[in-house]
Structure 1
Amino acid sequence: MNEKRQAQLLTTCLMAGRIMIESGSEMYRVEDTMRRIAQNAGVMDSHIFTTPTGLFMSLPTYDAVQIQQVTSRAINLEKVDRVNALSRQFADHQITLTVLSQRLAVLDHDVPYFPLWLQVIAAAVVSCTIMIMFGGHWIDFLPSAVVGAAGYTVFYLVREQLSVSFLSEFLAAFTIGLLAWIFISLHFGRSLDMIIIGAVMPLVPGVAITNAVRDMLAGHLLTGIVRGIEALFSVSAIGIGIALVFRFFA
């Protein structure tokens, strides 16, 4: 393998890994995908080190280590699936390394997200159904849906407009608590606790917590601890937002 192809291979592997980390994938899956791409390109002994904020990779026959910074992290499992699909196509020789790199670049810039209105509807459905599952009353069904949708809208807009970590969770939780209190005060609901419990569920970092545990079990102790702390901060921001409502209003 010539030097130009090795450089292209490193760039392609690091791009795939960065997209997966930014989309919420587990670290062992990231490393496995990068290693498989390298193996299918003819390099059997690549060296990969991943963290939530950066990736390092080197090839045994290439005298350089390339670094790829990870600047943002979200949950987009569709992008993770698409990277895995492209990796499998490369393994089956359906596409070349150059085509793989090009399609990863397109995937990186053409982010496949569901539209905001559909995400808000999903948040409303999740909020009211989970509220019922936790033992809530049917009279709180509609208020829980409305509050959950409003809270998720605030979370989405703040996250898109500002780059302050955990501020979106805090403001969304505060909005949820305040709207729930208003509904109860106007006698449009029965249980303040049940409405809040249902409405905050779309904000809970369940995927992040699950991935933190899976990384720990897979031996990625550093990544597991970092992701666990990040999830803990998100949960704390949600809790503080709700607590302020109870302190000053309820």
Structure 2
Amino acid sequence: MLAGKIMLESGAETYRVEDTMNRIASAFGLENAQSYATPTGINFAIDFAESTNFIRISNRSTDLHKIAEVNNLSRKITAGEVKLSSAPALLDRIDKAKLTFPGWIQIIAAALVSGSFTIMFGGVWPDYFPSVVVGGVGFAAMLGIDRLVEIRFIAEFFASLLIGAMAVGFVYSGLGVGLDKIIIGAVMPLVPGLHITNAVRDLMAGHLVAGVSKGVEAVLTAFAIGAGVAVVFGFL
């Protein structure tokens, strides 16, 4: 259950979470273990008609490194390289580890990605620098607001609002050329690509509840981003 919790909180697909939990349980001698995961919780029983254990998942982010670490540990458990007595401590170490990049590195990466997407989507080179600045500031605003309100949709709305306002300022001051290209490039780091991918993969694996819920979450995120930009255009 701890392995499943780490993976769900790190953005893993629910079918991968259930598969990992079942493999670990089977490796430790539980032949009929029952696991059921949703984006907000995990149910697990050691056998049919046995009492069920439940864990609530309140916070979710994206940390592919932790998912890879749990998968690697799961393979070692299945291969018999890790004993039951040491597995909880290893999982607890992964759970408490800070494997994500620092905020300043994420902001720099988002800035460079924004400029690259602007060029890729048909922008001209004079739009590269404005897009880098707008994308970096917008992503920094999203991280800052997310820590204050802890509601990702609100953070993404105000971040896209700031991105739209700054892009308009760059273009009207003559420092930028294509308003649409700058905005498109700058909002790309906010786009919920992982959520969309996981929703499709869960639906294809037959996990309809998880797939639909993740799809709705991705749609709401996209709506928040679009609404923030739309507010700026409404004042033009």
Shared topology, TM-score over 0.5? yes
Residue identity (%): 44
Q: TM-score, normalised by structure 1?
A: 0.91
Task: Note the C-alpha offset of 1:62.
Answer: 8.9
SS across alignment from 1:97: coil
* Residue matched to 2:66: 79
Task: Note the C-alpha offset of 1:163.
Answer: 1.7
Select which of 27, 42, 45 maps to 2:32: 45
Select which of 187, 192, 198 maps to 1:205: 192
Task: Note the C-alpha offset of 1:175.
Answer: 0.8
Structure 1 ranges of 4+ moved more than 3 A: none
* Residue matched to 2:165: 178
Unaligned runs of 5+ in 2: none
Select which of 136, 155, 160 maps to 1:168: 155
Q: Distance in 1 between matches of 2:169 and 2:16?
A: 45
Asked if 1:239 corresponds to 2:226, the answer is: yes
- Aligned residue type for 1:124: A
Select which of 88, 96, 100 maps to 1:113: 100
Unaligned runs of 5+ in 1: 1-13
Deviations 1:174-214 (A, max 9, x none): 11001111111211101111100000000000010010011
Q: Distance in 2 between matches of 1:113 and 1:38?
A: 28
Q: Distance in 2 between matches of 1:148 and 1:127?
A: 5
Select which of 63, 66, 69 maps to 2:56: 69
SS across alignment from 2:135: helix
Asked if 1:155 corresponds to 2:117, the answer is: no
* Residue matched to 1:8: none
Task: Note the C-alpha offset of 1:86.
Answer: 1.0
Higher deviation after alignment, 93-102 or 180-189 = 93-102
Q: Distance in 2 between matches of 1:58 and 1:168?
A: 37
Q: Distance in 2 between matches of 1:120 and 1:220?
A: 34
- Aligned residue type for 1:148: G
Deviations 1:15-60 (A, max 9, x none): 1111111111111110100000001001121111111111101012
Task: Note the C-alpha offset of 1:63.
Answer: 4.0
Report the count of equivalent residues: 236
Q: Distance in 1 between matches of 2:130 and 2:48?
A: 62
Q: TM-score, normalised by structure 2?
A: 0.97
